[in-house]
Chain A
Amino acid sequence: MSKEPVAVVGIGQTKHVAARRDVSIAGLVREAARRALDDAELTWADIDAVVIGKAPDFFEGVMMPELYLADALGAVGKPMLRVHTAGSVGGSTTLVAANLVAAGVHGTVLTLAFEKQSESNAMWGLSLPIPFQQPLLAGAGGFFAPHVRAYMRRSGAPDTVGSLVAYKDRRNALKNPYAHLHEHDITLEKVQASPMLWDPIRYSETCPSSDGACAMILTDRAGAARAPRPPAWMLGGAMRSEPTLFAGKDAVSPQAGKDCAADVYRQAGIADPRRDIDAVEMYVPFSWYEPMWLENLGFAAEGEGWKLTESGVTELDGDLPVNMSGGVLSTNPIGASGMIRFAEAALQVRGQAGEHQVEGARRVLGHAYGGGSQFFSMWLVGSEPPDS
């Protein structure tokens, strides 16, 4: 079996904001899809299939909304798939779409992920009613804060590392016109003085709740040859899952994340990720997840990730830039957040990232996770096609 190489030739996003009251759900997704088509200089007729993803349907109060969105996304008469793998869904959706091209089933696929969180209250949407969950777990922060504390205890990281991540990501967001939060007056002191929400996670170290959509056009070699702008090539992609809770689970550095990264690196021929990968766009909804994922993804030894953050390695002009777009800390339409990571990786290797472009980025990792640190989805994209 030889797989068809997969290229990204179009990327589109909405300007992410707290509430897009000016558009319907259909209007929101169509805006992102239209921009991706424009970027690829394609029309709806060029699309063979649509793969859409979002997080729980309760966020908008629409059951299986892809049925209603078929018209808005030009899917009538075409195959349409709807993926839902919790917070990793934006990444998983991309990979499902990529597989359609890799398998030779379709030539050109539109993939899109969205969330319109202003339609409901996401924090309580994520807080399951008793008896499905123990009381006192308010939102995702309540779930993840103990894991952050475990990391701090395990690694001996100084208390300030989380605020450094937030300060960096919010400044990166100022260079990204699509980012939700544009805090022009941000200072490290302000981050460190912001209210404590879930100890040790402060308000400014937490992701916002956004309305937004992200779309990509994936295509085969023939499609890439016709592309008006440089394509990004998929060099590896993988998903891994493990149960939410079980005896022996490492909630700080889950095995599923390590396995997923190892699979991607194997496919892409990456021997040393720290040396071979130029930048990383990872899913960091709470600041401390940057050092945690740096370790989980193999960019630092266990207990050493915070040192990369503290020494400035992950800054936009550092040796291994992380979350050039401003990350989930600056933009979080949950269902789209994974795809925004994947799209930012593709933008970087296409040289299309504008003010947050990393000079000479040739191989960039996009990462997403979801559920109770249990669903992982990653891809590595490059400026050159895979060896075949």
Chain B
Amino acid sequence: MTREIAVVAFAQTDHLRTSEELSEVEMLMPVLHEVRAQTGLKTADIGFTCSGSSDYLAGRAFSFTLALDGVGAWPPISESHVEMDGAWALYEAWTKLLTGDADTALVYSYGKSSPGPLRDVLTRQLDPYYVAPLWPDSVALAALQAQALIDAGDTDEPALASVAARSRADAAANCHAQLRGSVPQGEYLVRPLRTGDCPPVGDGAAAVILAAGDRARELCSRPAWIRGIDHRIEAHGLGVRDLTDSPSTRLAAEQAGAFERPVDTAELHAPFTSQETILRKALRLDDTVCVNPSGGALAANPVMAAGLIRIGEAAARIHRGESDRALAHATSGPCLQQNLVAVLEGDPR
């Protein structure tokens, strides 16, 4: 594994509560155009394309096939799709570039949560025989996790509120964020989580371009080199997991080399305030690390794209010279079941 691979471009939509006037393809196309414009690449120049999305959000089978119209897959392209957050599409593209079969890759993902009740939709992810029939929703499960964390003495409600306040305050500088500036902590949604502890529900898309070696240097003045990337999954049954910890995040971080040297920035995919506490512990992030300068998933959480956006945000800070070594994290499944960690670095300035 000697090939150097970098994120060389990133674009995202303005994330909105609803985009009902746009189809998924229409929502996606501007970000595809934007990453291509950043690099000057055309569709035919890109060696591999990989995307992430979910039929359950779209409410129809094979929803990703229409996105190919937006990509402009003619002449035919080398292409693949994961039914996962786009962060895992990026992982697949990274392995493709490692083999040497391609020098550049386009990665994109999108999700429209507005057409259906997202909390109900996400219950369909759960064990179909023993758990899904009870319809425990995503906020209720996160609340179980938050309560376990409070009971363990790892946090309290004021500390959670401060995570929410910091995230939305930082998002004031992020023109794409859905919730920005001062947002009231609000009433309990599911105790102990208040509306402020929960992510906004919204629609959005993101795209990234990866390139290898010298190709990356041609396309970007300061590429964000992927020094390591790994992902791990935990058991699905909440009853067999310690919900106050995230061993899969820790293991992925170890495998990605995150602990070899400190990072200056971390973009964590923590849709709930309590999950940031868990991830900080697993990733050994202290107060010197700038966590979620974009506002994170508490400011915008387009399902299926929010993880890819973490990698994109971390890379963009390296592109801009605001970070030299950043960690990006993505999650999937109930209560942080599956986690991906990437470590990105810029060349010395």
A126 within 8 A of B: yes
User: Once the chains bind, are A25 and B60 in contact (CB under 8 Å)?
Assistant: no
B98 within 8 A of A: yes
Cβ-closest chain A residue relative to B58:
A132
User: Once the chains bind, are B3 and A241 in contact (CB under 8 Å)?
Assistant: no
- Give 4 closest A-B pairs by Cβ, nearest first: A1-B100, A256-B76, A56-B61, A103-B98
Instruction: Provide the residues of chain B in CB contact with A135, threshold 8 Å.
Output: none
User: Once the chains bind, are A77 and B232 in contact (CB under 8 Å)?
Assistant: yes
Stretch from A94-102, A170-178, A271-279, A292-300 contacting the other chain: A94-102
B188 within 8 A of A: no
A105 within 8 A of B: yes
24 sampled A-B residue pairs with Cβ under 8 A = A1-B3, A24-B129, A57-B55, A62-B125, A62-B128, A63-B56, A67-B334, A67-B337, A68-B126, A70-B234, A70-B235, A70-B337, A71-B236, A79-B230, A79-B231, A83-B81, A83-B83, A95-B80, A239-B80, A241-B76, A241-B77, A241-B79, A243-B68, A372-B65
Choose one: B61, B64, B74; the contact of A242 (CB below 8 Å).
B74
User: Once the chains bind, are A239 and B79 in contact (CB under 8 Å)?
Assistant: yes
A81 within 8 A of B: yes
Chain A residues bordering chain B, tally (CB within 8 A)? 64
Stretch from B88-96, B216-224, B257-265 contacting the other chain: B88-96
Cβ-closest chain A residue relative to B122:
A63
A86 within 8 A of B: yes
B75 within 8 A of A: yes
* Alpha-carbon distance between A56 and B54 when the two chains are bound, in angstroms: 9
Chain B nearest CB, measured from A41 CB (Å): 26
Q: Other than the known A83-B82, A85-B80, what 9 A-B pairs have Cβ atoms closer than 8 Å?
A: A68-B126, A76-B234, A76-B235, A80-B338, A238-B78, A241-B77, A241-B78, A372-B65, A374-B68
Chain A nearest CB, measured from B78 CB (Å): 6
User: Once the chains bind, are B54 and A64 in contact (CB under 8 Å)?
Assistant: yes
User: Once the chains bind, are B83 and A82 in contact (CB under 8 Å)?
Assistant: yes
Instruction: Provide the residues of chain A in CB contact with B231, threshold 8 Å.
Output: 79-80
Instruction: Provide the residues of chain A in CB contact with B84, threshold 8 Å.
Output: 64, 81-82
Chain B nearest CB, measured from A259 CB (Å): 5
Chain A positions 14-67 with a Cβ under 8 Å from a chain B Cβ: 24-25, 55-58, 60-65, 67
User: Once the chains bind, are A57 and B56 in contact (CB under 8 Å)?
Assistant: yes
Binary contact readout A341-376 vs B (1 if CB under 8 angstroms, 0 otherwise): 000000000000000000000000000000110110
Q: Which bucket holds chain B's interface residue count? A: 35 or more
A3 within 8 A of B: yes
Chain B nearest CB, measured from A94 CB (Å): 12
Choose one: B3, B83, B128, B232; the contact of A68 (CB below 8 Å).
B128
Binary contact readout B114-148 vs A (1 if CB under 8 angstroms, 0 otherwise): 00000001101111110010000000000000000
Chain A nearest CB, measured from B174 CB (Å): 28
A194 within 8 A of B: no
Given known contacts A96-B92, A99-B95, A103-B99, A61 and B124 CB-to-CB distance under 8 angstroms: yes
User: Once the chains bind, are B76 and A255 in contact (CB under 8 Å)?
Assistant: yes
User: Once the chains bind, are B65 and A105 in contact (CB under 8 Å)?
Assistant: no
User: Once the chains bind, are A259 and B75 in contact (CB under 8 Å)?
Assistant: yes
A156 within 8 A of B: no
Given known contacts A56-B62, A70-B236, A243-B73, A61 and B128 CB-to-CB distance under 8 angstroms: yes
Chain B nearest CB, measured from A1 CB (Å): 3
Greatest chain B CB density within 10 A among A3, A100, A126, A243 is at A243
Given known contacts A58-B55, A244-B65, A79 and B98 CB-to-CB distance under 8 angstroms: no
Given known contacts A63-B54, A242-B68, A70 and B233 CB-to-CB distance under 8 angstroms: yes
B22 within 8 A of A: no
A221 within 8 A of B: no
Binary contact readout A229-271 vs B (1 if CB under 8 angstroms, 0 otherwise): 0000000001111111010000000111001100100000000
A104 within 8 A of B: yes
A228 within 8 A of B: no
Cβ-closest chain B residue relative to A267:
B101
Chain B nearest CB, measured from A251 CB (Å): 14
Chain A nearest CB, measured from B142 CB (Å): 15
* Alpha-carbon distance between A102 and B98 when the two chains are bound, in angstroms: 9
B1 within 8 A of A: yes
Chain A nearest CB, measured from B245 CB (Å): 13
Chain A positions 123-137 with a Cβ under 8 Å from a chain B Cβ: 125-126, 128-129, 132
Cβ-closest chain B residue relative to A376:
B76
A84 within 8 A of B: yes
B39 within 8 A of A: no
B332 within 8 A of A: yes
* Alpha-carbon distance between A1 and B55 when the two chains are bound, in angstroms: 36
User: Once the chains bind, are A240 and B77 in contact (CB under 8 Å)?
Assistant: yes
Binary contact readout A88-117 vs B (1 if CB under 8 angstroms, 0 otherwise): 000010011001101111000000000000
User: Once the chains bind, are B1 and A132 in contact (CB under 8 Å)?
Assistant: no
Cβ-closest chain A residue relative to B91:
A81
Chain B nearest CB, measured from A256 CB (Å): 4
A75 within 8 A of B: yes
* Alpha-carbon distance between A363 and B53 when the two chains are bound, in angstroms: 36
Choose one: A57, A83, A240; the contact of B78 (CB below 8 Å).
A240
Instruction: Provide the residues of chain B in CB contact with A226, threshold 8 Å.
Output: none
Given known contacts A67-B125, A84-B82, A128 and B235 CB-to-CB distance under 8 angstroms: no
* Alpha-carbon distance between A17 and B338 when the two chains are bound, in angstroms: 32
User: Once the chains bind, are A86 and B62 in contact (CB under 8 Å)?
Assistant: yes
User: Once the chains bind, are A71 and B99 in contact (CB under 8 Å)?
Assistant: no
B154 within 8 A of A: no
Choose one: B73, B83, B95; the contact of A57 (CB below 8 Å).
B83
Given known contacts A85-B80, A96-B80, A128 and B338 CB-to-CB distance under 8 angstroms: no
Instruction: Provide the residues of chain B in CB contact with A82, threshold 8 Å.
Output: 82-84, 88
User: Once the chains bind, are B54 and A78 in contact (CB under 8 Å)?
Assistant: no
B321 within 8 A of A: no
* Alpha-carbon distance between A1 and B74 when the two chains are bound, in angstroms: 28
Instruction: Provide the residues of chain B in CB contact with A3, threshold 8 Å.
Output: 99-101
B246 within 8 A of A: no
B274 within 8 A of A: no
* Alpha-carbon distance between A57 and B132 when the two chains are bound, in angstroms: 14
* Alpha-carbon distance between A267 and B94 when the two chains are bound, in angstroms: 20
Cβ-closest chain B residue relative to A72:
B236
Greatest chain A CB density within 10 A among B81, B125, B233 is at B233
* Alpha-carbon distance between A243 and B234 when the two chains are bound, in angstroms: 36
Given known contacts A83-B80, A243-B69, A374-B65, A68 and B127 CB-to-CB distance under 8 angstroms: yes
* Alpha-carbon distance between A263 and B237 when the two chains are bound, in angstroms: 43
Chain B positions 35-51 with a Cβ under 8 Å from a chain A Cβ: 49
Binary contact readout B230-262 vs A (1 if CB under 8 angstroms, 0 otherwise): 111111110000000001100100000000000
Chain A nearest CB, measured from B346 CB (Å): 24
